[in-house]
Chains A and B, each alone.
Chain A
Amino acid sequence: MADDAPLPEPRRAAVAADAVWSFAIATILVFGLLTGVIAIGGHPIGPALSALWNGSFGSAYALTSATLVRTTPLLLTGLAVALAFRAGVWNIGAEGQLLVGATAAAAVGLSAGAAIGAWALVVALAAGAAAGALWAGIAAWLRQRFGVLEVISTIMLNFIAAYLVGYLVRGPLQEPSRIYPQTSALTAAARMPRVFAASRLHWGLLLALAAAPLLWWILRQTAVGFRIRAAGANPDAAHVAGTIDVTTVRRRAFLASGALAGLAGAIELTGVTFALYENLSPGYGFTAIAVALLARLHPLLVVLTALLFGGLESGALAMQRDAGIPAVTVFIVEGGLILLALAGNAGGTRGSGGWLQRRADDGHSGR
């Protein structure tokens, strides 16, 4: 782990350099892999890469209206996954937590929008975070009370959340004309303000950007953060030391992780879609796992990897549109990157990504 304990200054600088270095390698690998996959698919590489660039970072419009808009949910869900994994909780359910967060934001934003005016947005965001925490709380409760592995329960809850949205937008939350499978659009008061008038970028990005250093600070500098890291790094030692109640720490980290993912959903709803519908998320909560792992679960690096994947996914859509390359290619790159990170991390030495070596503790055995 990069920041286990207070390190002497030179050591800390080395760790930071190592983190930046690994991100640079990851970026190069992304493009190497992508080029390889495009070439194997028999597509011309030049037009593909130029479409990728134009659709992601190549213009102010692409950057602010596509890449940064996608970065926002990836950043928040990436932080959610990083927090959970740091605590030794295998929360694979960010996608479901995001969906219920969006659902709660829609329900609250629509019903309270007229009544409370300017507060509607704040209340909708809070409702989203609470719903995400509640959804994660089901898995946390099942784990604690019945020993159900969260790897399995969170995946089941992803499916349940997706079908729940499908049901709600055709049932209780459907728009009044009952034609489209979606809710009505939020009123202006409940919408996230735009950063610039001419772009889709909204203030949610700034919220997400603020969450990253906050989480880093909590993990790094506070007693709560120390307990979380201890519970994740070595639950037995943390338990034996007697001062850390691993179960409670993990439950709280699980709930906070769900709240972050739920907030991501609420921000997506109030900032981008304005209405709830199925397939509101193109799998942000799944990509988040790659985002967090590639950042080595470091909250500040998550900002960079979320930006990388936000750009990659926006560019991939442009590649599909302009160069005929399937956007699903991105999944090959994401999966390949995680495997490369796993393979390259040989020794598991401290400060060089040792977390990848971390034993999965009692997370799988149900003890």
Chain B
Amino acid sequence: MSAIVQAFLQAAVRTATPLALAALGETVVERSGLINIGLEGIILVGAFGALAGASVGGVTLGYLTAITGGAALGLIVGWFTIARRRDQIITGTAVNLLALGVTGALYRGLYGTTGAALLIPTTPPLPVWALARIPIVGAALFDQPGVTYALYLLAPCVWWWLYRTQSGLALRAVGERREAVLVAGISPDAVRWKALLFGSALGGASGATLVLAQAGTFVEGMSAGRGFIAIAIVVLGRWHPIGAVMAALFFGAVSALQFALQAAGLALPYQLFLMMPYVVTLIALARVGRKSAAPAGLGEP
């Protein structure tokens, strides 16, 4: 029984990691008043960037190209939504289509349609020696790829940034009311740019995690809705960095239930398992609903 629980928890953290990275970035972006629907495309570009980078220069280059690719797509989003004040949802929708087309065409152009011969270096789990032996939760938390540990460090850092620094205060102020920071001599657009590039870079890293720490290869459209789920997770986490990580873990746990229930011998059709995280997210969103603390200026061009 404890083996099942352990496998379940490990799968939960594994599923949660890329979602938490993306949601952490999107939390920062949304706190500045932008809603980046293009996150889905950014994750996809990150995944492809990771493949391209890692096949040339190993895992490190893979992460670097993923982060750069994500940020580059973030530049496009920002040019439309910040510099030109265009509608954020339409911009995001277009960017997602663009990313799907560009990664698909490049993938087929560079690697052919089969992709079977693709062998790229990946990041295996790194057990943190003593901690990984803690019963039940040890392996789930401390026998994971390095990127998961990076997440453990990053989440409190983002919290510190948002709630304990001047620049974080400015960012949250911009999200509530854009003009509020003008008095302090801060450009609201500059603040939004910073937030968007940070969020896009994390989105790219999230895509890299899918390729380098999980699948070990790239599949067309492999982001598979994770960007949208991350946006939902931001709401579930009530626009708080630690909340986002917790909500991602919750989503990861619901997704991992299928492994646990299958291992426990429950024979539900597997499409119903795949459906469950989305249903649970909707229910959770309804429960957070009106009580939630959305930035007042969210979505305003």
Contact = CB atoms under 8 A, between A and B. Distances in A.
Given A156-B278, A170-B269, A366-B294, A338 B97 contact: yes
Closest 8 CB pairs of A and B: A364-B299, A331-B101, A328-B104, A335-B98, A335-B97, A332-B101, A338-B94, A146-B289
Interface stretch (B3-11, B82-90, B132-140, B204-212): B82-90
B285 A365 contact: no
A358 B285 CA distance: 27
Contacts of A284: none
A148 interface: yes
A152 B104 contact: no
Given A152-B231, A156-B282, A160-B279, A365 B104 contact: no
Contacts of B278: 156-157, 159-160, 163
Contacts of B35: 151, 364
A146 B290 contact: yes
Given A152-B231, A364-B298, A365-B296, A167 B269 contact: yes
Interface string B270-301: 01101100110110011101101011111111
A325 to B, nearest CB: 8
Given A159-B275, A160-B282, A339-B91, 13 more contacts: A152-B228, A153-B282, A159-B278, A163-B274, A167-B275, A290-B94, A326-B104, A331-B101, A342-B90, A360-B89, A360-B300, A365-B297, A366-B292
B105 A41 contact: yes
Nearest to B109: A41
Given A163-B272, A356-B90, A363-B299, A332 B109 contact: no
A350 B279 CA distance: 41
Interface of B is mostly: helix
Contact of A156 (B76, B281, B287, B295): B281
Contacts of A147: 289-290, 292
Contacts of B281: 156
Contacts of B271: 163-164, 166-167, 170
A342 B80 contact: yes
Given A156-B232, A163-B271, A167-B269, A330 B282 contact: no
Contact of B105 (A157, A332, A343): A332
A293 interface: yes
Given A148-B285, A332-B101, A365-B296, A164 B275 contact: yes
20 contacts: A37-B105, A142-B286, A148-B282, A152-B231, A152-B235, A166-B274, A167-B269, A293-B90, A329-B104, A329-B105, A332-B101, A333-B101, A334-B101, A335-B98, A339-B80, A339-B91, A343-B86, A363-B89, A364-B299, A366-B290
Nearest to A334: B97
A148 B98 contact: no
B292 A332 contact: no
B100 interface: yes
Interface in B92-108: 93-102, 104-105, 108
B225 interface: yes
B109 A326 contact: yes
A155 B101 CA distance: 19
A239 interface: no
A282 interface: no
A147 B285 CA distance: 9
A92 to B, nearest CB: 7
Nearest to A164: B275
Contact of A343 (B84, B88, B109, B294): B84
Contacts of A146: 285-287, 289-290
Interface string A255-289: 00000000000000000000000000000001001
B37 interface: yes
A336 interface: yes
Contact of B104 (A156, A289, A331, A358): A331
A176 interface: no
Nearest to B221: A328
A301 interface: no
Contacts of A359: 300-301
A254 interface: no
Contact of A328 (B37, B96, B100, B300): B100
A98 B141 CA distance: 41
A334 B95 CA distance: 10
Most buried by B among A148, A170, A286: A148
Contacts of A156: 228, 232, 278-279, 281-282
B256 to A, nearest CB: 17
A328 B101 contact: yes
B88 A356 contact: no
A58 interface: no
Given A160-B279, A334-B101, A152 B90 contact: no
A42 interface: yes
B283 to A, nearest CB: 9
B110 to A, nearest CB: 10
Most buried by A among B105, B108, B220, B269: B105
Nearest to A142: B286
Interface in A317-367: 326, 328-336, 338-339, 342-343, 356-360, 363-367
